Chains A and B, each alone.
Chain A
Amino acid sequence: MAEQPPTVMLAEPRAASVANLEGELSALWRSASEEPSTRDALTRSCALTLLVYVESEAEGREVNDLIGAVTAQNPCRVIILIGEPLGSPPGLSATVSAHCHLPEPGAKQVCCEQITLHARGTSVENIDNVTLPLIVSGLPVHLWWRAGRFAPPAHFDQILRVADHVMLDSARFPNPEADLRMLAARLETGVETLKITDLNWARITPWRELVAQCFDHPARRPFLDRLTDVRMAYEAESPRVLTQRSQAMLLTGWLASRLKWEFAERRVEGSAEFFVFRDGEREIRIEREARQFDGAGCGVCFTLDLRADGAAPATFTFSRGPDGAVVQTRAEVPGSGPVGRTVRLEVMDEVAILNEELKVVGRDHVYEEAVRMAARMVASA
């Protein structure tokens, strides 16, 4: 498969009048089309509107650096909203710019426009009035909530009303347990009619795939009804500990909700936590432990063991490889030798995940059920 084309700025971001942003964008394109070097070589492309919400100028710059790689795969109008309620002096400022993707020889450059709106102090309350007219008519609207917990203030109501999809990142939740509970409550009450997806959920998708694959063959399916012990370890001493903690919660919530287990109780013993579930007479214990991992690599760092009891016990294990780039899987089931393999562990960066999220169609009910289950598990925390 080919690599993504390199991205360049069509022009330096230019300060623009908030009252005439469409006019400023038109002027930007006009000047580009008059430039001899780019004349007839550019095409303006837009398949959606991507709103990005951040809470500081520094985060706005981070997004600015990332966004070219998003528009390369998902041509769109990007509107970066920087909301600093405590910023001063109060006011709204804006810049316009465009990213272009260098094409194969002979093809036109595909260019996408970007507007950055910076609201300080009480002006944050006007952010929706300024944003709504800038949304491209007739195309989907995606909101990337690149802030902490998902608790949009009232002045976001109008934006949420027109958005088709919100992408949040539970790895950014300052208090994963409380914030997941808050999200679950939003989903539970049915108030939330939006499609919500979570970048952190996407990070554990490769693990969910690996676990699911173990039970694809009909002969393996009955082991799911005999699972009794699940052990999950995640990286304890890492800057990513919060990310991993919420990932572990989502993975547990997913397994329990998919297998229709009922949550019974939570116990903490040292660095390990035990969640006890019931399925009829059967008791299932999930042990979660934060522990030190050796070796290099980054991203999701789990080990996961599943054990099915009964007359013919079976085990399914998944261990992160020492270089952090692969997972060793092993299945031991009665009547056949152990089957293992090394699987490439794709650690997707934020942009790669976002590009995938932009393709998601419809609400992710599996995610929503996992969040609800995770919230029940930590309800007493």
Chain B
Amino acid sequence: MADTSVLPNPLREGIRLHRTPEPCAMVIFGASGDLTKRKLIPALYYLYREHMLPAGLSVIGCARTPATDESFRKELSDAVRNFLHLGSESDAFVKSFGEGIFYITDNFSDQKAYDQLKLLLGRLDRERGTCGNRLFYLATPPSFFPVIVKHLGATGLAKPQVPGRSWTRIILEKPFGRSLATAQELNRVVTSVFDEEQVFRIDHYLGKETVQNLIVFRFANGIFEPFWNRRYIDHVQLAVAEELGVENRGSYYEEAGLVRDMIQNHVLQLLSLVAMEPPAAFEATAVRDEKAKVLKSIRPIPDDRVNDFTVRGQYAAGFVGGQKVPDYRSEPKVSATSATETYAALKLSIDNWRWADVPFYLRSGKRLPKRVSEISIQFRRVPHLLFQGAGGEGIEPNVLSLRIQPNEGISLKFCAKLPGTTMQIRPVQMEFRYGESFGAVPPTAYETLLLDCMLGDATLFNRDDAVEIAWKLMDPILERWQQDGAKGLAFYEAGTWGPAMADALIERDGRKWIRL
């Protein structure tokens, strides 16, 4: 007789049932922070509410703030009610969710707290049927990562409790280091305790529905991929613009800057999805192999040519949304002589058969006129101008725009004849908008990513090699900028599209930034 325990659950068959992970205990280090209240617990609550999490799911909060199970439950229940605007939600249901929440006061370096955690996890296995499955979520500042990881290893919590029958995973929040050396050190520490397969590096950008749709757009449609190469594409632009300034994150931003905050992770992740070769399958190893491969093909910018391929800027005072806003150096916890970049534009080249001679222009900044993330694929001009002297000057190259946020959608710019007896040509847009074709509200990035992690699907998480390659590309730029200090930093008025030098970067090549 077959061993039914190794066969798939026959009741799971069918197209309607959600993917539900096995029962587990999720341990959040840094649980008193905003991320837990604003993102993690609301996401878990929604998944639980929609029956996508199993009975017995337990959450253990660990943080330095002294609290009890009861006070922590109340704090999280209030957070769930506040952030999700729950009105008529059944009290019994919220209470049931709360029964699975526990708290341990932990300064992250006290072995006693880890011993207590081990005992609690064992108790939850027995009492709530969590089956030895553990998910550790590191929502602390990165400086605590090594000490937590080492203690988890020393306490025997890093390896699966029942090999082959249970799992242990760890989620790390970005930033994954602040340079190649620190990223390598972090990876070394983490992988000295956990196997790489157990490590899930979360970049919430990858959990966005429209980012996932980029893969679908490229590989579920027969018509685009044949044109997705140097033969038809002139260049690619990636833009991630924010209206906001640094708000109350001045001290973090002074250490990070825009490249570490946006380009090294979000923007390069988008680039890798746009430029990668078709993976063998839509599964973690195949997709992440292709992403890493294309990142490796990006030509490094030599130290002595950084200024030829990059522009960095910092916002000066200006107006955003009709409101006067201060310059970056006047923001709280920012140095009055700061040389930190709040804007960056880069020109990158990918040295492979598909993308040879197709530049990728990246730009991202704070205090720009609006919040928008968009990938624009500009196609080559027609090879011969048929309509010269007959309105041919209206002919513009085709542009395929993939809007990540807001108003998520895809548009294609092409030329059309202006109605009338004369031949006049104007560009028009063919548009697809998510909000118009699908009324359903998509899950948040954290709902998608937490569920994926519990199911063991790492497709949308960063792998160590990709993180290191991205740092390897950014390090020379950051080092050069650090050496130059404020020299070479271009200032731009808040509420404008960045410094004029950024326009020059692309105009040198006879191209222009796409109007966003």
Contact = CB atoms under 8 A, between A and B. Distances in A.
Given A43-B436, A47-B437, A225-B4, A215 B16 contact: no
B55 A341 contact: yes
B interface: dominant SS: loop
A61 interface: no
B513 interface: no
Interface stretch (A88-96, A141-149, A359-367, A372-380): A359-367
B455 to A, nearest CB: 11
A216 B126 contact: no
Interface string B126-170: 111101000000000000000000000000000000000100000
A209 B55 contact: no
A364 B14 contact: yes
Given A210-B51, A213-B55, A321-B92, A221 B436 contact: no
Contacts of A4: 439
A326 interface: yes
B165 A212 contact: no
Nearest to B13: A366
A interface: dominant SS: mixed
Contact of B131 (A217, A259, A340): A217
B496 interface: no
Contacts, number: 147
A153 interface: no
Contacts of A364: 14-16
B5 A218 contact: yes
A219 interface: yes
Given A216-B22, A224-B4, A339 B56 contact: yes
A336 B129 contact: yes
Given A45-B437, A331-B129, A360-B15, A343 B10 contact: no
| Interface-central residue, B9, B12, B17, by most chain A CB under 10 Å | B9
Contacts of A365: 14
A101 B437 CA distance: 13
A331 B435 contact: no
Interface string A341-378: 11110100000000100011110111100000000000
B448 interface: no
Nearest to B15: A364
Contacts of A343: 51, 55, 93, 96
A366 B126 CA distance: 34
A371 to B, nearest CB: 13
A213 B4 contact: no
B435 A209 contact: no
Closest 7 CB pairs of A and B: A73-B439, A342-B96, A366-B14, A212-B11, A218-B5, A339-B129, A1-B441
20 contacts: A73-B438, A75-B437, A110-B436, A206-B51, A208-B17, A209-B51, A210-B51, A212-B12, A216-B21, A217-B131, A219-B165, A337-B126, A339-B55, A343-B51, A343-B96, A346-B51, A355-B439, A362-B15, A364-B15, A366-B15
Given A346-B50, A364-B15, 17 more contacts: A73-B438, A75-B436, A110-B436, A209-B51, A216-B9, A217-B23, A221-B4, A221-B7, A224-B10, A224-B11, A331-B55, A339-B56, A339-B129, A343-B51, A343-B55, A362-B15, A367-B14
